[in-house]
Structure 1
Amino acid sequence: MDMDRYHRDHATILEQIETLRSLSRAGIAGNAGAISQAIVGTASLIKFHLAAEDQVLYPRLARSGRADLAALSSRYQAEMQGLAEAFGRFVERWRVPARLQADPEAFRSDANTVLRALYERLRREDRELYPAAGRL
């Protein structure tokens, strides 16, 4: 299975996470507009990436005829639901610059939690799920 698109998506999402970190370190209130734009851009990337996984990757692994790949696919898909919901709440709360300006420390706390979980998930996919799918 060709995994290039998924790897490119991950690289782009990781770049967006780094952009958010850099903007936050430079000052949340002063960079609220740019942070808001980065959050919305990241959300869009993730939405399309998740759709590709849900519509192509996971079903292909489930139909692979290999019980180990089907179980791996099922586990990753189930785990992603909780993270996707948490990320959706994060986007909804922090996509508005005025909210970032009003409570930068709450944003920093939420970002540390949600973006770290997202980062760790992407890295696990790169180490476990994508190599397995690439061998199909």
Structure 2
Amino acid sequence: MYLELLVDHHTSIHSLLKHLSAFTSASILAANAEEASRAVSRLAELLTVHLAAEDKFLYPSLARSEDEHIRTTAARFDEEMGHLASTFLS
């Protein structure tokens, strides 16, 4: 269940980034400021939820795996990326 949600987040994040990349100049951005602002807000919201879900659910779940490689990888990912949500919000 959580995995499907995280995959959906990745898809949505990719889609929003692709949408934002269309604003290739200041004039295009100015002409579409409201749309760009909504997309940036949605992206920030989605990243906040996604990163928190990884910290609270994904990494702890993987850390309980019976597979040592999965536990080791989860610990490394948690160490490297486990606090991105709080960093992003600061």
TM-score with structure 1 setting the length? 0.53
**8 Å Cα contact 2:29/2:36 also seen in 1:** yes
Structure with greater contact order relative to length (CA < 8 Å, sep ≥ 6): 1
Quote the offset at 1:52 in angstroms. Answer: 1.3
What CA distance in whole angstroms lies between the structure 1 residues aligned with 2:33 and 2:84? 24
Q: Which amino acid aligns with 2:38?
A: Q
Gaps of 5+ in 2: none
- Cα RMSD of the aligned pairs, angstroms, is 2.5
- 1:47 aligns with 48
Aligned-partner Cα distance in 2 for 1:73–1:50: 14
Q: 1:5: Cα distance to partner?
A: 1.4
Runs of 4+ in 1 over 4 A off after TM superposition: 81-84
Do residues 25 (structure 1) and 24 (structure 2) align? yes
1:1-136 correspondence runs (5 A): 3-22=3-22, 24-25=23-24, 27-80=28-81, 85=87, 88=88
Q: Structure 2 counterpart of 1:25, which letter?
A: T
Q: Distance in 2 between matches of 1:60 and 1:52?
A: 11
* Alpha-carbon displacement from aligned partner over 1:84-124 (angstroms, at most 9, x marks no partner): 54xx38xx9xxxxxxxxxxxxxxxxxxxxxxxxxxxxxxxx
Q: Structure 1 stretches of 5 or more lacking a match?
A: 93-136
- Give, in whole Å, the separation in 2 of the partners of 1:2 and 1:39: 24
- Number of aligned pairs? 87
Q: Give TM-score scaled by structure 2 length.
A: 0.76
Q: Share of identical aligned residues, percent?
A: 33
Distance 2:45 2:2 in 1: 23
TM-superposition CA deviations, 1:57-105 (whole Å, max 9, x none): 10011111322112211222233258654xx38xx9xxxxxxxxxxxxx
Q: Which amino acid aligns with 2:63?
A: A
